[in-house]
A and B are shown apart, each in its own frame.
Chain A
Amino acid sequence: MPGSITSDIIRPPAPPRGGGYGGGGGQDGRGASRRASMTGLMVLLAATTMAFAAFTSAFVVRRGISNDWVALPLRPIVWVNTAVLLGSSLLLELARRSLRTGRRTGFNRYWTAGTVLGALFLVGQAMAWLQLNREGIFVATNPSSSFFYLLTAAHGLHIVGGLSALAYVDVQALRLRLGPGKRTAVDVSALFWHFVDGLWLFLMALFLVWG
């Protein structure tokens, strides 16, 4: 999609494929007010919640109606990925704290580290998939594997969206272009990221208890 031609409009990042919502609602060049961006984010999170609620109810129903469910124990790498994701959220929070006290270098370091860990999470998830493939477990192998691939893919798409937002903020920060007008972008992308992190914890619980 083309950006704007007028000079004072910030070029927003490309919307992620699949998720389609744009990394957080406030990435708009016309300078939507902070409040509107926060509202937009909450609304986006509501929609994401509904989509995963639908998947979860499908999961519960499908597990309950037939006897072909084969439990899929979580491989160790998935735990590592979880730790990495939690770590990235933590780093983003440290970054925000630094920004609040004006420590720009601290912000740059923490935010970049958080973004990198976020990307590592994705790599780790891909590795988990590859491992399952090597064991002969594919998307249609049995219902629990279907849901594992489905839920991790859907979650992964949201990670990609969030990562684009984190990367955008990171680039702006590293190029010393992260002015006060972009604070909302920082907060919105961090909050979106924490949500996706929390969503992952929910999915882990689902897999552990019912998978």
Chain B
Amino acid sequence: MSAPVVHAHHAPQGFIRKYVFSLDHKVIGIQYYFLALFSVLIGMSLSLLMRFHMVHPDAKVAWFAHLWPTAAQGGIMTPELYLSLMTMHGTIMVFFVLTTAPQSGFGNYFLPIQIGAEDMAFPVLNMLSFWTTLVALVVMVSAFFVQGGAPLAGWTAYPPLSAVPQTGPGEGLGQTLWIVSIAIFCGASLMGAINFIATLIDLRCQGMSLMRLPLTCWTWFVTAILALLGFAVLLAAGVLLILDRSAGTSFFIPAGLMVSDQILNHKGGSPLLWQHLFWFFGHPEVYIAILPGMGVTSQLLATFSRKAVYGYRAMVYAILSIGFLGFMVWGHHMFMSGMSPYSAMAFSVLTMAIGVPSAIKTFNWIGTLWGGKIHFTTAMMFALGFVSLFVTGGLSGIFLGQPALDLYFHDTYFVVGHFHMIMGVAAIFGMFAGTFYWFPKMFGRMMNETLGKIHFYVTFVGVYAIFTPMHYLGIAGNPRRYSDFTNFDFLGKLLPVHNFMTQAAYGTAAIQILFFINLFWSMKYGKKAPMNPWNATTLEWTIPSPPPFDNFGGQHPVVNHGPYEYSVPGAPRDFIMQTDPPDAANPPATSH
């Protein structure tokens, strides 16, 4: 790696330049973070509305009628409204929360600093990627407000349901806006990926070899590669879908369709083609959602156990394998789709294979804790919670990865439980952990530990209460994407479980207020943070809190140590920072 060219650029002046159209990766990271925070509020509200409707499908709620005069006439949520809320919940959470904050939020802020660079490789592209993401969000949300409302085909938008506007309300302009938003998001993601990859490959400071990178950087790097290759394919798929909808083509729409008593003109297309293209993106997407959280967990477990990450090399290989194999397992979303049963078997073996590096990471996390000296800060609690949730969520994947068992579980609540545990909880815990860990560096103040711990405990138990019962519902055969459960005898018996989950959801959602209070109050009134409140080793802890605009004040850090040199025998302190002198483990006898 070469030393980056130093540019004596001036600190930005003026509010717009500093905080709005900023080229500073730190500001852009915070912008992404707040975009994600805003999106998660929308996404969470949508899920609460969904859970309410599932247990009270006939309830009359006055303000529903105000918000949705056609879709909730008389205050009763129609099935199509439910499905559109569900579609937008999934879409907003997956794209605008899980694909933004962990990678573009924390990654943008801390990747350059952790590798000793003064900014990303392409700051203008970075700024563009944020604003493009914001435009995508605006377009997505606008789907709620057009005629017909938001689409109802799920975040997976399978054609022909998503390709033929007559198949349901919301499938007109709403679905088109959805596709356009996603296409814009693809562009933004690709811009971000280019930046992350070029920055990591070319802007590492002296001494920062690949095997000295913090694991957070490894996960941001592999995630960027997944995003690069995956979103390109999603963009292509979206273009084909828009053409089918508006230009009369038949990429995905076969012949012989009759919708609303009308025979359609299309012919020759394949609905399965969409599924292949979508899931070729969709599977790497879920690794994009989880990998940064894994990196944060590794980082925090080491910091707060005062112990090196167990098996750093194995962790790196695991991250690389997960990234690589992540592109080869998309068919496990399609076992029941009508695709070749032979390919199902191939995808199944590869899916089980990808369980292996995930297991390695889990064992190594526990190995990191083993023999450690654990400090239970709120950040650490969330990292520990991540491990527990990842175990639970990951293990249910072992059932779903077998086509033989998927013959029952496909499209049941078992799947919903699985992916919520992994994405909707574990990945979110990764974001919480990152927040509590890096807040002092980003805002120069400490968050409140008491509020943090209460929020953690209630949330931890709460998410188990919400999502574990989904596995039992799946075993009982409860299909997913049903807006109510009163039409089937066997579903009626499962209503008490749904009730329990709804109550748990209300409680868990409510406690998130503590997090928001903590976040915003601490920004202004939190105790001032020192440079290195956690006595951690990586480069961000060598600069002031918050950092100056060019990170290292014009200096070039020189790295002499690996990222997790904690409790090295003989060293004067229980941690050696990456920039400490080479002999920090055994300083010369005549110390200064």
Contacts and interface: CB of A to CB of B under 8 A. Distances in A.
Interface of A: 1-2, 4-6, 8-9, 12, 15, 20-22, 25-33, 35-37, 39-40, 43-44, 46-55, 57-58, 61-62, 65-69, 139-140, 143, 146, 150, 154
A68 B268 contact: yes
Nearest to B265: A140
Looking at chain B's contact residues, is the secondary structure mostly helix, strand, loop, or mixed? helix
Q: Which 3 A-B residue pairings sit nearest by Cβ, starting from the closest?
A: A140-B248, A66-B268, A54-B236
Contacts of B191: 20-22
A39 B128 contact: no
B273 A20 contact: no
Contact of B228 (A8, A29, A43, A143): A43
Contacts of A40: 121-122, 125, 194-195, 197-198
B119 interface: yes
B247 interface: yes
B5 A58 contact: no
Contacts of B132: 20
Contacts of A62: 251, 268-270, 273
A47 B122 contact: no
Contacts of A43: 193-194, 197-198, 228
A51 B199 CA distance: 23
Classify chain B's interface size. 35 or more
Interface of B: 2, 4-5, 7, 9-10, 13, 17, 21, 23, 119, 121-125, 127-128, 131-132, 187, 190-191, 193-195, 197-199, 201-203, 228-229, 231-233, 235-237, 239-240, 243, 247-251, 254-255, 267-270, 273, 276-277, 280
Given A6-B10, A30-B119, A39-B197, A51 B232 contact: yes
Contact of A25 (B5, B131, B194): B194
Given A25-B198, A65-B268, A68-B268, A146 B17 contact: no
Contacts of B198: 25, 32, 36-37, 39-40, 43
B21 A30 contact: no
A187 to B, nearest CB: 15
A22 B188 CA distance: 11
Of listed B10, B198, B232, B251, residue having the most chain A CB within 10 A = B198
30 contacts: A4-B124, A20-B187, A21-B187, A29-B123, A32-B198, A33-B4, A36-B201, A39-B121, A39-B197, A39-B198, A39-B202, A40-B122, A43-B193, A43-B228, A44-B194, A47-B193, A47-B229, A50-B228, A54-B237, A58-B273, A62-B270, A62-B273, A66-B254, A66-B267, A68-B267, A68-B268, A139-B248, A140-B249, A143-B250, A154-B236
Contacts of A31: 5, 7
B124 A146 contact: no
Contacts of B2: 33, 35
B236 A58 contact: yes
